[in-house]
Structures are given as C-alpha cells and as structure tokens.
Amino acid sequence: MKANDLQPQPGWTLARRAERMNPSVIREILKVTERPGIISFAGGLPSPLTFPVEAFRAACEQVLSEDGRGALQYAASEGYGPLREAVAALLPWNVDPAQVLITTGSQQGLDLVAKVLVDHGSRVLVETPTYLGALQAFAPMEPEVTGVASDAEGVDLADLARRRAGARFLYVLSNFQNPTGRTMSEARRQALVQTARELALPLVEDNPYGELWFDAPPPPPLAARYPEGTIYLGSFSKVLSPGLRLGYMVAPPEILPKLLQAKQAADLHSPSFNQRLVAEVLRDGFLERHVPTIRALYKAQRDAMLEALAREMRGLDVQWNAPDGGMFLWARLPAGMDAVQVLPHAVERGVAFVPGSPFYADAADARTLRLSFVTATREQIDAGIAALAATLRDLATR
Amino acid sequence: MKANDLQPQPGWTLARRAERMNPSVIREILKVTERPGIISFAGGLPSPLTFPVEAFRAACEQVLSEDGRGALQYAASEGYGPLREAVAALLPWNVDPAQVLITTGSQQGLDLVAKVLVDHGSRVLVETPTYLGALQAFAPMEPEVTGVASDAEGVDLADLARRRAGARFLYVLSNFQNPTGRTMSEARRQALVQTARELALPLVEDNPYGELWFDAPPPPPLAARYPEGTIYLGSFSKVLSPGLRLGYMVAPPEILPKLLQAKQAADLHSPSFNQRLVAEVLRDGFLERHVPTIRALYKAQRDAMLEALAREMRGLDVQWNAPDGGMFLWARLPAGMDAVQVLPHAVERGVAFVPGSPFYADAADARTLRLSFVTATREQIDAGIAALAATLRDLATR
C-alpha cells in the first residue's frame, strides 16, 4: 500500500462548461493524416512561402534598436497606438482608431465576443456550415447555436427572420468563407443588412480572408454598411504571419469597453513586441506590394486544383465550387457516401482532406468535404486529386 | 429627422457576466497619477533595465535564419516542444514536459483555470489580500470569491478549513506575493499541503516572482509537494520580458486536457515566434547569468526604499514590511486614514502609490497600500517617500 492510498484524492470539480470542451474533431480526424508521405489538403494553414521573413528580420532589428526596452515592456490592453491607426487606415470604411482593439489572433476576438454577449442558453445564429473554430470559441459560454440555411450567396434571409427570436447575434464570414470558400454577393449583403436593421439583429463579421481575392475585390464588408450593429474581426494571419498571433476587432462604442475589459482579464494585452513588428512591417504600404504575390500564388493553386478535379472526377457524381479567393474549396461526394468514412480509404491511398460535418452547427451534410489548395505543390495537387478520385471509384464499385 | 431615427437600434444584449466586467479600479485610480513629473510607486511593471535586449536581438536573427517560415506559421496549442522541455527542466520538481502548457502570459492561465473549474456561484478561495488581476480573470465565470484570513506567513489554516466547503480551489501566490511582497514560510507550506490533502482541496499556485529572491531562494513550491492537487502558473514576464506575453502552466494529467481545449478555443496557441525566441534565449543557462543581475538591482532598490521609509516616516504611525524578494512592499497608514483618500493628496505632492483596497476579495483594510520599489531611481525613491511622509504629516495635523 502506497502512502498515497491513505489520502483522499484531490477533489477536482470541473465547471459545467468543461463538458462542452472536447478535443477538436478535426484534430482527432487529422491524426490519421499525419503519416509521412501523405498529400494533405486537410490543413487550414497559409502557405509558408507567403511569409515575409526578410521584412520581419528588418523589423526586429529596427524595433529592438529604436526602443527595445519599450517593445519588451507591458503595454496598454487596447493595443499599440500606431498599429491601431494602421488598422483603421487599412479598413475600407471610416473607422476611428479608438474603436480598434488588438487581439491575440482573431480567434481571441471570438472568445471575447462570446464572453461579452453570450449567456448559458443564449441563441447564437451561424451560417450553414460555419467556421469550426468559432463554434469552439463560443462553446465555453454555453450558447444554443442554430444554423441559418445558406446557399452559394450567403445566408437565407427568410430563414434568418424565422430564427432571429432572442438571438444575441448572427456570426458570418462574408468573404471566401472557411470552410466553403463562398463569398456573399453584393445583393445579399444589401439585403442582409436591411434585414438585420429591421430585426435589430447584431452581426459579428469575421473577415480573415478578404484580402486574398483573385480577380476582383469582394464587395465592401457588412460592418461598412451597418457599423452600429456589427463587431468586425480581422487578422494579420493570412496576409503576414499566423505565428505572431495578431488580429483585431472593430466594435461600436457601446460594446467596446466591455470587450476591452474582457481582453484585459484574458491576457492583459497582446504581445507588444509583435505589435510593433507588424506596425513596422506595415509602413510604406508594404501590404500593397506583398498581398498581390499571395493572391497570384493562391489563384494558380486554385486553378491547379480545379483542373485536377475536372480531369480526375470525370464520370463521378462529385460536385465542387470555384472560390473567388481564399484558401479553401468545398466539394460534395456522390449520394450515399459519407466523407468521414471515406477519409481513411483516401489516407490509405496517400491523400487527406477534412470532412465537412464538424462545420455544421446542427444537421450536417455528411457528403461534404473541405479541400485546401494553398499548401500542396502543383504536382501534389495532381497526384492527390487523382488518389482521391481513385478512392471514390474504388468505393463506388464495392 | 435623420434616416437613422426611422430604424430600430441594434439590439445588443450583454451577457450577465459583463456586469461584472468593470474598468480596473487600479486603472481608474492611476489616471490621476499620469501627470508628468509624478514619482510613481504605483506600477506593476518590472524595471526595463532588466530586459535582455541584446539577447533577444541575437535570438531574432537566429530564429529567423534557422527556420523563419516555421517560426511564423501556426503551431500546436500545447506550445513549442523545446520550450515546454526547457520549462520542465527549470522547475525544481520532477515535471514531464507533457504536463506543461504554454500560455499567453500567466494571466491567460488564470482565465483558463476559471473556464475549466468555475461555474456561476462556485466558491473560490483566495488569500487576504490577493492579486487583483486574478480577481478580474475569475470574474467573467461569476464565482463567489471568498478571502481566507492570512498573516505574514501565508493563509490561516483554521480559517481555510472553515471556508473550504464547496470551494473549487484555493488560489495562492507563495512567493513575494502581489500585492504584499510576503512569502509563505516553509512551516506554513508543509501545513498548507497537509491541510489541502486532508480537505481534498485543489490549489492554484501562481509564482511569477519566485526567481526574484534577494538573499536566499524561497522554499520549494506547493506544486512540488502536492503535484496531483495543484495547478502551477509560471511566467517569463519578470525574468525576461513581459512584452512577449509568455507564461506557462503545469497541471495534473486529469485536468490538462480540458485546459488545453480551453486554450485552443481562446487563441489557438501562444505566438510561435515568441516561443522560439525564448527557447533560444534560454539555451546555455542564460537565466543563471541573467537573473542574478535582476536580483541585485531589485535588492538595492528595496534597500533604498526601506532606508527612505525608516528615515522619513519617523514619528508617524506607519507600518511596512521588508520583503525577501519580488517587486512590492506593503504599508499601512496611521489609524483613521484611508489610502484611497490619501492618494490625491500624495499626487498633489508629486508621488503615487496603489491603495490596498482593490486587492481584497471581501472586507478591505482601507489603511493599506502597495509600493513598487523597482522602477523608480534611488533619487526618486528618496524624494517620493519624503513627499509621501509630508503628505501624511500634513493630513495628520488637519
């Protein structure tokens, strides 16, 4: 008998909300894809080829030489003044830097929104499907999340009106949505804002991918049209680097102080060194030179995947869309197939994707899947899509 | 009439918890201290003289040259492997790196603890007084926070036993506590751990200041004695830089997965670039050379403040302690004085401090105040303590 057996065990009692915190479904799914040699379309990572390493090296040197001690010290919870000003200047509507709150990635923005706006049982409306990370960020505040019917242009406004009662907000990704890659049309944006105004419904607009357009910029954001009713989330993760964990939110003056207080309680402030690095990199219009290189790369990658799909899926009842920007493409398998069940067979043939089901707040379309086109090479795209097609042919003939 | 008047206003509904999110009392208090020329003992900032700017410059160069793209990419929520190993190796008990979770400052550790362990109305026990930032981090989860009577050696164990019923955990800063500067004695640690085991009471041990000892290291942490019942929080903010926002937690295997899931939902991961920088700086025993320089500086600063207090407060019924490390000293004004009311008079004479009241979970001792001795120069300490004494003399004779 060990001494320990004589003692009561420590009485850990978990919060009720901890029951809703479960390992990311995707994370579990992706474990099977981690074998060496797998061609992965499953990741949500930007291409590391787009990271401006040299610009960051120069910025480190500049920031540490100019005021190294200041950059390494505690700082204001709102964020670094010049970065807040740079964010306000980047946005395509009239934003006062005082409305900008710098966050530890836009994921933190979702956590703060939930803390400030969601009670246990509060209704939260989301698109069908929606960003899985948002569902995870909202979950600890125990909302009742309801999917609003959506088509290729965005949310269905009749369904929105039916589900609005008591909803705290509608969460929406207007541009090159994760997971579907779809973009809300100009007409739908106008109609959505009109409906939101009529219903007095707040919006949370998440726009990490908006700059990654291929041929033409998307229509102006919802926040530009309905600023008093929208919390807008942005990010530097897809245009500069996700590893710095810097995002931002723009909120109406009546909500911002509470978000700021939640931010202060959550991590005091986002890293001051990183904020100064990004402010330094942004100077002199760097994004205007840099982002076009990302657009060109991702467009070529998308085209490669569309060509491979058209070539390899011939004769199979597989559907896919052709996103106008972003990182993801959305596909639908033949009737009767379930993407979760198909995945291990695909992995056996050396290719991985993310099944669509975890992205649905309620009833999932089990035939759907997400394909990232940005990190694989052209050769890998060709081989990976061929392997996926072979998997489907094989399963179809069983 | 503007068009806007025809529209209903957006129906923002705040979460119940948002009522508890209020501007930091300290922040409001400190607004009066922001006049130029004020000598401030009010801040909670480490001395920027201690930040190893050159080491970080070299680390930036190394990290960006070696694997810049990796450092700027998304990373695992648990943290960067070599940094988790370095943390485990730094700690004075047997810690498996798999038990280490890297956080965005140790403030985030407090947020995660509350999310995983606190329900609305859950009892949480804290020292009297305790760290204000912890009260703010716990508040959004709506606990009922109860102060346990405490003396110069730490918490009163009889009072702890009386208040334990239903408590989710006791939050304790064992070394050079913020705000009091006090350290829990070896005898009290042994007795506290024995009592916690008997009561099956989990502990949350917060140790940001433990390395900043002046003459001898403090006794081993509670987590080293009761690892199965303790969540331990540490930080790089006081030994390297707070501006990088890096802390860590060590948790028992039964709690860590939930903390990790809460972490992932909160900000995906702490900045990978910063984690690699710190891992690089820590190599070759850097802290063993660097931290002694901080200790020597802060000890000289503490001595200067103790000398100034002894000299200037003569004849006044003011009490203060002599901390064995850390950044803060705790003082108590003459009977009948209230530190909140004294502050504006002190500011008029050019010196600022933080009143003690906000650090109490329940009944506050209004006579107490916190003095930081680390950021003012020796001359400022002399002049500032003289100004504080003059303020008290002036008020005493009114």
The CATH number assigned to the domain holding A114 equals: 3.40.640.10
**What's the pLDDT at B11?**
87
Query: Do B120 and B169 share a domain, yes or no?
Result: yes
Least Cα separation, residue B390 to chain A (angstroms): 31
Least Cα separation, residue B292 to chain A (angstroms): 19
Query: Do A358 and A292 share a domain, yes or no?
Result: yes
**The pair of three-digit structure tokens given for residue A9, joined into one six-digit string:** 């065990």
The answer, for B178 touching chain A at a CB cutoff of 8 Å, is: no
Query: Do A44 and A58 share a domain, yes or no?
Result: no
Q: What percent of chain B has pLDDT over 90?
A: 91
Residues of chain A contacting B201 with CB distance shorter than 8 Å: 10-11
Query: Do A236 and A333 share a domain, yes or no?
Result: no
B243: nearest CB among A73, A122, A196: A73
Note whether B117 contacts A12, CB cutoff 8 Å.
yes
Instruction: Count the domains in chain A.
Output: 2
Listed range (B9-13, B134-138, B227-231, B377-381) with the worst mean pLDDT: B9-13
Q: Of B239, B262, B284, which residue constitutes the final position of a domain?
A: B284
The answer, for B385 touching chain A at a CB cutoff of 8 Å, is: no
Query: Do A36 and A74 share a domain, yes or no?
Result: no
Interfacial B residues in 284-323 facing A (CB < 8 Å)? none
Best residue of A30, A50, A66, A73 to probe chain B, by most B CBs closer than 10 Å = A73
B202: nearest CB among A12, A229, A245: A12
Residue B56 placed within a domain: no
Query: Do B31 and B90 share a domain, yes or no?
Result: no
The answer, for B24 touching chain A at a CB cutoff of 8 Å, is: yes
Nearest Cα residue in chain B from A260: B23
Give the domain CATH number at A303. Answer: 3.90.1150.10
CA-to-CA distance for B169 and B171, rounded, in angstroms?
6
**What's the pLDDT at B7?**
56
On the question of pLDDT at B196 being above 60, the answer is yes
CA-to-CA distance for A43 and A373, rounded, in angstroms?
9
Q: Of A231, A259, A285, which residue constitutes the final position of a domain?
A: A285
Note whether A273 contacts B241, CB cutoff 8 Å.
yes
Question: What is the rounded average pLDDT for all residues in chain B?
Answer: 95
**What's the pLDDT at B4?**
46
Query: Do A136 and A230 share a domain, yes or no?
Result: yes
**What's the pLDDT at B19?**
84
The answer, for B5 touching chain A at a CB cutoff of 8 Å, is: no
The answer, for B273 touching chain A at a CB cutoff of 8 Å, is: yes
Element spanning A330, H or E: strand A328-332
**What's the pLDDT at A24?**
66
Residue A8 placed within a domain: no
The answer, for A73 touching chain B at a CB cutoff of 8 Å, is: yes
Nearest Cα residue in chain B from A270: B245
Q: What 3-state class would DSSP assign to A11?
A: coil
Residue B269 placed within a domain: yes
Q: How do residues B126-180 score in pLDDT, each as one tens digit?
A: 999 999 999 999 999 999 999 999 999 999 999 999 999 999 999 999 999 999 9
Query: Do B245 and B131 share a domain, yes or no?
Result: yes
Residue A151: give the domain boundaries: 54-285
**The pair of three-digit structure tokens given for residue B318, joined into one six-digit string:** 């003011």
Residue A317 placed within a domain: yes
Contact B251, B231 (CB under 8 A): yes
Query: Do A234 and A361 share a domain, yes or no?
Result: no
Cis peptide before B129 (omega within 30 of 0): yes
CA-to-CA distance for B316 and B304, rounded, in angstroms?
19
Contact B21, A119 (CB under 8 A): no
Note whether A51 contacts B68, CB cutoff 8 Å.
yes
Query: Do A339 and A243 share a domain, yes or no?
Result: no
The answer, for B255 touching chain A at a CB cutoff of 8 Å, is: yes
Note whether A108 contacts B10, CB cutoff 8 Å.
no
Q: Pick from B299, B72, B34: which is nearest to A54 by CA?
A: B72
Least Cα separation, residue B182 to chain A (angstroms): 23
Query: Do B233 and B112 share a domain, yes or no?
Result: yes
Provide CB contacts within 8 A for B38, sequence distance 6+. B347, B350, B351, B352
Could you count the other beta carbons within 10 Å of the beta carbon of residue A120? 15
Best residue of B22, B60, B290 to probe chain A, by most A CBs closer than 10 Å = B60
The answer, for B116 touching chain A at a CB cutoff of 8 Å, is: yes
A200: nearest CB among B9, B17, B237: B9
Residue B10 placed within a domain: no
Residue A5 placed within a domain: no
**10-residue block means of pLDDT along chain A (398 residues)?**
55 90 69 80 94 98 98 96 98 98 98 97 98 96 97 96 95 98 98 96 98 98 98 98 98 96 96 98 96 98 98 97 98 96 94 95 96 97 98 93
**What's the pLDDT at B305?**
98
Residue A6 placed within a domain: no
B265: nearest CB among A116, A139, A271: A139
**What's the pLDDT at A10?**
82
Query: Do A302 and A388 share a domain, yes or no?
Result: yes
Least Cα separation, residue A396 to chain B (angstroms): 37
The answer, for A393 touching chain B at a CB cutoff of 8 Å, is: no
The answer, for B161 touching chain A at a CB cutoff of 8 Å, is: no
Q: Pick from A109, A388, A368: which is nearest to B268 by CA?
A: A109
B119: nearest CB among A15, A116, A267: A15
A57: nearest CB among B64, B105, B265: B64
Residues of chain A contacting B168 with CB distance shorter than 8 Å: 13
**The pair of three-digit structure tokens given for residue B53, joined into one six-digit string:** 């700017």
The answer, for B335 touching chain A at a CB cutoff of 8 Å, is: no
DSSP states of B15-74 as a string?
A: -GGGGG----HHHHHHHTT-STT-EE----PPPGGG--HHHHHHHHHHHHHHHHHHHTS-
**What's the pLDDT at B2?**
44
Note whether B21 contacts A122, CB cutoff 8 Å.
no
Q: Of B260, B284, B308, which residue constitutes the final position of a domain?
A: B284
A267: nearest CB among B8, B108, B264: B108
User: Across the A/B interface, how many CB contacts are shorter than 8 Å?
Assistant: 277
Residue A13 placed within a domain: no
On the question of pLDDT at B1 being above 70, the answer is no
DSSP states of B125-184 as a string?
A: EEESS--HHHHHHHGGG--EEEEEPEETTEE-HHHHHHH-TTEEEEEE--SS-TTT----
Residues of chain A contacting B270 with CB distance shorter than 8 Å: 104, 245
**What's the pLDDT at B21?**
80
**The pair of three-digit structure tokens given for residue A378, joined into one six-digit string:** 């052209």
Note whether B141 contacts A104, CB cutoff 8 Å.
no
